[in-house]
A and B are shown apart, each in its own frame.
Chain A
């Protein structure tokens, strides 16, 4: 299918492009960009007047829950949620049932995605068998099958020797190791951040140190092995400081941050809403300030949603018993545009880069560029579009968002995958 996107503002920060340019797509790839491109007879034209045309957004941290937990989410519903939220590709974590720790599961996910998926799906394989942290998964075969990275996300690989071997073993594949940095002893029994709010609520809290000690370890191991270690969902000022220092020393460490950790603090837990419970937990004001600064200066490379769907029954329990995690695919772009870009905390180009070119570069994924020849994955934004978050209208099967009833302006307008506008 051929497509001409006209009259939009083309924004490709990685290539230094920001201007009123048309974009021509042919055979699923970017054909060319230019002013007032002529429309060939057989082409579909999209009028993007007043819109911002970006390379497709990529979420490198999604839980699609299939196979095994289809009551929470499926590849069909999760990828529709992604498309609705402006994402053209998602990387799905390995904590399915069975765990994606072998080629058969990777093949299954990719096969389902080809049939049911509406955006690109890139599986992330488990580092250890059954996420047990004791024996390496068959990493080479999984990389061959299409895993773009490895992670035991949801759990921390506490055995430093095993983790070191995983980093070394995967070096030839060019697949980063993604760390869920959380010391399970320091976070044992905790349901939120440790601080004045946990003290007032009488909820056992985990200190920021639970994340910091593991980030420190992972940086040391990355230096030892020369591997690319990516820190998932950074939430603390301490982790930011260490990552910044490590990058300055040339260590191959990168990092992501979630929208909820950028926009909420542990103050949000005061209403006992289990949709404010996730791992890592919402932190303090100073942590949020450090995360915003790190996102702006590039210490944090990209934004990822950690989209973690759960059934209502798993989220309406007592706070300490409720499942960890929140959904994010359908709210991320909107809440970030309204709460960070509109007030001028982060400029639009930076946000777009952190959602598109940066994640593509980190995991060596197709997309993330509007240069001729690139895959035609495009996200078009409407910066003037008012919205209100209504979980009942989510394409995701889950409703567990901390942003319910938030209202704002600016959001995804069209999601194009391989040159095809996705309708969900």
Chain B
């Protein structure tokens, strides 16, 4: 199908056919990564601005590589050392950047809705690279691509998303995306880290790890932020790890072909034991590889390049 959107803001917006379109486009981009000269002229003359207000290594680098392999000019703008530190509002900064005529602005910001705010005010394409606890659509897309590659299909699979769902934009984007692709989603975590009315998102909610992962084709472990302990969501990292950490012993009761995913960065020994992170079940590094392909696909679709 023909891509019609100006922006990529959320998985909640996308239809299943659009998701498939992005995955197929990304898949075709993967071949470029296997070449000796990893560069195609597709987005030559196009400018991509990475506007990152939150620390990020993986996502920003991934967008940067994706843009460069497509021959776009990629400029990184981080909040530190910029006008944002001098108190300029997000909107003013974005309008100033737009005045320099970029084709795509990739934004990460701590506030939910920040990408939508920019999309409403900017004429160029806006990609949401994570807005608060709202969405992180390219992460969900790369997760879907990874699952589709490994399992051959998406429809009918069972996925368990485990951990701090309340504060996770990765969980939200995956819940919306997976549901649209016919995946059954179970979210699991202590009740303090499961958001209000979560069942209304069309997911099962479990408060026992063993129950949540027993029949899962995929287990997606979420990163636990240390500040959750200080703000009273959990008593201690130690206890969380004992109750909710994924260990090889716990995996014994799972499907033998289960996939372990994690959006990174992993807290080894907290949500994942080191053995699990490095086990044959883990596809964490495949996710990172696919991240570049997804972002190439997204930049290609939004910046209107010609086929590679």
Contacts and interface: CB of A to CB of B under 8 A. Distances in A.
A is bound by B: yes
Interface of A: 194-196, 198-205, 207, 272, 313, 316-321
Interface stretch (B71-79, B112-120, B270-278): B112-120
6 contacts: A201-B112, A202-B132, A203-B133, A204-B133, A272-B117, A316-B91
B interface, how many residues as a size bin? 20 to 34
Given A198-B195, A316-B91, 14 more contacts: A196-B197, A199-B195, A200-B172, A201-B113, A201-B134, A202-B133, A202-B134, A204-B133, A313-B89, A316-B89, A317-B91, A318-B117, A319-B113, A320-B113
A195 B201 CA distance: 11
Nearest to A284: B197
Interface of B: 12, 89-91, 109, 111-114, 116-117, 131-135, 169, 172, 195-198, 200-201
A200 B12 contact: yes
Contacts of B132: 202-203, 320
Contacts of A203: 112-113, 132-134
A204 B132 CA distance: 10
Nearest to B12: A200
B89 A317 contact: yes
Nearest to A185: B232
A391 to B, nearest CB: 17
Give the one of A199, A320, A321 with max B CB within 10 A: A199
A118 B300 CA distance: 60
Nearest to B132: A202
A412 B134 CA distance: 42
Contact of B196 (A198, A313, A317, A321): A198
Contacts of A319: 111-113, 117
A196 B197 CA distance: 5
A320 B201 contact: no
A320 B117 CA distance: 12
Give the one of A201, A203, A313 with max B CB within 10 A: A201
Given A201-B134, A272-B116, A320 B196 contact: no
Nearest to B112: A202
B172 A318 contact: no
Given A202-B133, A202-B172, A204-B133, A317 B90 contact: yes
B113 A272 contact: yes
Contacts of B111: 318-321
A199 B196 contact: yes
B179 to A, nearest CB: 12
A317 B94 CA distance: 12
Contacts of A272: 113, 116-117
Contacts of B114: 318
A284 B44 CA distance: 50
B23 to A, nearest CB: 23
Contacts of B117: 272, 318-319
A316 B196 CA distance: 27
